[in-house]
């Protein structure tokens, strides 16, 4: 039977939560095992995949036995902190399974909410899309799998989750814009642009939000800063979408004195 009172959090430092509170999980091998199992909640992870993650390209002679020892210590850790370790981490013929529902793992719950937000936005249900995106983004406490030594598989999961996070931010922005909520978006967008300086989609969202807030000078400055970064560091020009957005802002501001346009364009 699934342990409904246990939650596993991977969107930030790895931890699990019970009725007694939140508990950090540490140790390079244990965190790798738990992360892989949690990302496949309710499904078996085969021994080969676990061994490859623990010892990429150079598994020791007694890798299977050592893996069993690490799983034993993981079960003891969970049990000692109030979770039924032996029931949660079950041995399968081909590997191990973390016996929880996907909803009990924040990364998988986030994926569900992100997919729901995209579907609702495509259907024109902006308010519900914004709510789903907001709920999903609220699950993040930092970088995915923060502090876990990432092998090939976990690194792939972390990259995928990070990209899905950015996509969901864009869905959130589009939904909130459709609802006329402009000012509320600015702090989060500025923070994301600072963390992803080359992401033109996020920059375009920030510029569009500034435009809708009637902050055309700030919008053109944001465009200018991005253009400087792209040309100076990557040797590329802004995308046609950004050029079109700049043109629209300039058209909006056609009545503004020339000296203002010169200062910010």
- The answer to the question of residue 2 being in a domain is no
Structure tokens given for 119: 């579907």
What is the total count of domains within the chain?
2
Parent domain of 247: 109-264
Distance CA 124, CA 126 (A): 6
Using one digit for the tens of pLDDT, what is the confidence trace for 10-66?
A: 999 999 988 878 888 889 999 999 999 999 999 999 999 999 999 987 888 899 999
159 and 97 co-located in one domain: no
Residue 232 in any domain: the answer is yes
Q: Does 34 share its domain with 61?
A: yes
The answer to the question of residue 153 being in a domain is yes
236 & 151 share domain = yes
Q: Are residues 136 and 14 in the same domain?
A: no
**Residue 178 belongs to domain with CATH number:** 1.25.40.10
Together in a domain, 250 and 143:
yes
196 within some domain: yes
Q: Which residue has the tokens 């792939």?
A: 156
1 occurs within a structural domain: no
Contact call for residues 134 and 169 (beta carbons, < 8 A): no
On the question of pLDDT at 86 being above 90, the answer is no
Please tell me the predicted confidence (pLDDT) of residue 124.
95
Residue 50 backbone zone (phi > 0: left; psi -120 to 50: alpha; other: beta): alpha
Instruction: Give the domain-ending residue among 104, 135, 164.
Output: 104
Instruction: Please state, rounded to an integer, the average pLDDT across all residues of the chain.
Output: 89
């Amino acid at each position: 039977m699934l342990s409904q009172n246990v939650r596993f959090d991977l969107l930030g430092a790895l931890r699990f939560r019970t009725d007694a509170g939140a508990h950090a999980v540490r140790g390079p091998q244990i965190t790798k095992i738990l992360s892989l199992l949690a990302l496949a909640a309710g499904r078996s992870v085969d021994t080969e995949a676990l061994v490859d993650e623990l010892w990429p390209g150079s598994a020791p002679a007694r890798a299977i036995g050592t893996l069993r020892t690490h799983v034993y210590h993981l079960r003891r850790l969970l049990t000692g902190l109030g979770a039924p370790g032996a029931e949660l981490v079950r041995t399968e013929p081909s590997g191990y399974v973390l016996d929880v529902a996907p909803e009990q793992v924040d990364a998988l719950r986030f994926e569900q909410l992100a997919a729901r937000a995209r579907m609702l936005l495509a259907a024109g249900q902006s308010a519900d899309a914004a709510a789903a995106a907001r709920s999903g983004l609220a699950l993040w406490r930092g970088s995915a799998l923060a502090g876990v030594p990432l092998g090939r598989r976990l690194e792939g999961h972390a990259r995928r989750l990070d990209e899905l996070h950015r996509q969901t931010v864009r869905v959130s922005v589009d939904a909130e814009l459709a609802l006329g909520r402009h000012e509320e978006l600015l702090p989060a967008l500025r923070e994301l642009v600072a963390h992803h300086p080359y992401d033109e989609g996020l920059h375009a969202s920030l510029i569009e939000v500034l435009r809708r807030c009637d902050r055309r000078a700030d919008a053109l400055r944001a465009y200018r800063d991005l253009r400087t970064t792209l040309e100076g560091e990557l040797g590329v020009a802004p995308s046609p979408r950004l050029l079109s957005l700049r043109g629209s802002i300039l058209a909006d501001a056609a009545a503004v004195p020339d000296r203002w346009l010169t200062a910010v364009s």
